Amino acid sequence: MADMNAMSATQFPGFAELDAALADLRQGKLVAIPTETVYGLAADASNPDAVKQIFSLKGRPADHPVIVHIAGAEQLPDWASQVPDAAWQLAEAFWPGPLTLILPKPPRVTSLVTGGQETVGIRAPAHPLTHELLRQFGGGLAAPSANRFGHISPTTAEHVRGEFGHDCPRVLDGGACHVGVESTIVSLIGDTPKLLRPGGIPREAIEDLLGQTLEHHQSSKTAQIRASGLLDSHYAPRTPLWAGSLEQVHLAALQENQQGHKVALIALGSSNHLPEVLHTQCLPAEPEAYARLLYATLRSLDGQGFDTLLLQMPPDHPAWLAVRDRLTRAAHRHL
Ligand code: TXA
Ligand code: MG
Query: How many A from CA of 209 to the centre of ligand 2?
Result: 27
- Model confidence, pTM: 0.95
3-state secondary structure of 87: helix
Give the closest ligand to the alpha carbon of residue 236: 2
Sign for the CA dihedral angle at 135, 171, 47, 200 comes to negative
**C-alpha dihedral, 206 to 209 to 212 to 216, nearest 10°:** 0
Evaluate whether 240 touches 309 at the Cβ level (below 8 Å).
yes
pLDDT for 302 equals: 95
pLDDT for 232 equals: 59
Query: How many A from CA of 250 to the centre of ligand 2?
Result: 30
Query: How many A from CA of 147 to the centre of ligand 2?
Result: 7
Q: How far apart are CA 181 and CA 195, in angstroms?
A: 16
Phi, psi of 216 (to 5 degrees): -115, 115
Phi, psi of 149 (to 5 degrees): -55, 130
Which ranges of the chain have pLDDT less than 70? 1-6, 218-233, 271-272, 274-275, 277
Query: How many A from CA of 151 to the centre of ligand 1?
Result: 14
CA distances from 260 to 8, 240, 333 (A): 50, 16, 20
pLDDT for 7 equals: 83
User: Measured from the CA of 145, which atom of ligand 1 is nearest?
Assistant: 14
Q: What is the mean pLDDT of the chain?
A: 93
Residues forming a β-bridge with 99: 184
User: Measured from the CA of 119, which atom of ligand 1 is nearest?
Assistant: 29
Q: How far apart are CA 177 and CA 171, in angstroms?
A: 14
pLDDT for 87 equals: 98
Instruction: Work out the burial of residue 293: count CB atoms within 10 Å of its CB; fewer than 13 is exposed, 13-18 middle, 19 or more buried.
Output: middle
Q: Say which amino acid occupies 195.
A: L
Task: Find the residues whose C-beta lies inside 6 A of ligand 1.
Answer: 35, 37-38, 40, 64-67, 98, 100, 102, 114, 117, 119-121, 123, 125, 143-145, 182-183, 185, 196, 225, 227-230
Give the closest ligand to the alpha carbon of residue 61: 1
